[in-house]
Amino acid sequence: MSTLLEVSGVTVTFDGFRAINNLSFQIGKAEMRAVIGPNGAGKTTFMDIITGKTKPDEGRILWGDRSENLLKMTEAQIANAGVGRKFQRPTVFEAQTVTENLRMALKRPRSPFSVLRHRPDAQEKADIEALAEEIGLKDHLEKQSGYLSHGQKQWLEIGMLLAQDPQLLLVDEPAAGMTAPEREHTTDLLVRTAKTRAVVVVEHDMEFVRRLNCKVTVLHEGSVLAEGSLDHVTSNQDVIDVYLGR
């Protein structure tokens, strides 16, 4: 299994506080990974670094077969290279309809001039409907997304993530605010997706992680504390100390 993303020796400092400390991480092309850790372990900063929002002080991040340097790319370039992100708090464009949200996310040329030339076509319509079907918003396509419930917004966000057709999905707490059947659906979706792509899930809910049934990375104080199956890491003394307190 070849490597899709390789993060090595990355360090970020905010006003003297080391949010990420010499962190190394890698993930394959079709792999599911859960990242867990207590509050302040650096999970969100970790995602910010990969997506280009935060530039690290040192370290390197290589991407794909051609080992491109993600640090030299803008957020948009990274996203176009195939990194998709779902935020912890759903951030959809509330003033626009579900269709419009999905249409913006669909994988199409992103430059201003090609977008200016874009006209809705049948293929696009079909793609949007298929996605809406998957996320259960088929009946709400023309609804302004601001009027959706919290859970529906989560789904719309997941739909937008899928619409981008990324190679790497960074998913921050996907199950927050969802009902039990919805959680199950999410798990299914993620597991299915991970068959062809890399998925990184940040989650607090251990039950949810257990159901993903994948390799787990434990972050603590900005670096990797342990890595392995859930059972392996939960039996690790360091992890127990961190979670339960010394």
**In the bound complex, what is the minimum distance in angstroms from residue 74's beta carbon to another protein?**
7
Nearest residue (CB) to another protein, 58 versus 94 = 94
| 3 state SS for the chain | CCEEEEEEEEEEEECCEEEEEEEEEEEECCCEEEEECCCCCCHHHHHHHHHCCCCCCEEEEEECCCCEEHHHCCHHHHHHHCEEEECCCCCCCCCCEHHHHHHHHCCCCCCHHHHHHCCCCHHHHHHHHHHHHHHCCHHHCCCEHHHCCHHHHHHHHHHHHHHCCCCEEEEECCCCCCCHHHHHHHHHHHHHHCCCCEEEEECCCHHHHHHHCCEEEEEECCEEEEEECHHHHHCCHHHHHHHHCC
**In the bound complex, what is the minimum distance in angstroms from residue 90's beta carbon to another protein?**
10
Nearest residue (CB) to another protein, 103 versus 220 = 103
**In the bound complex, what is the minimum distance in angstroms from residue 95's beta carbon to another protein?**
6
**In the bound complex, what is the minimum distance in angstroms from residue 142's beta carbon to another protein?**
11
Nearest residue (CB) to another protein, 164 versus 193 = 164
Residues lying near another protein in the complex (CB under 8 A) are found at: 15, 51, 53, 74-77, 79-80, 84-85, 87, 91, 93-96, 100, 103-105, 110-113, 115-116, 118-120, 160, 164
Nearest residue (CB) to another protein, 22 versus 97 = 97
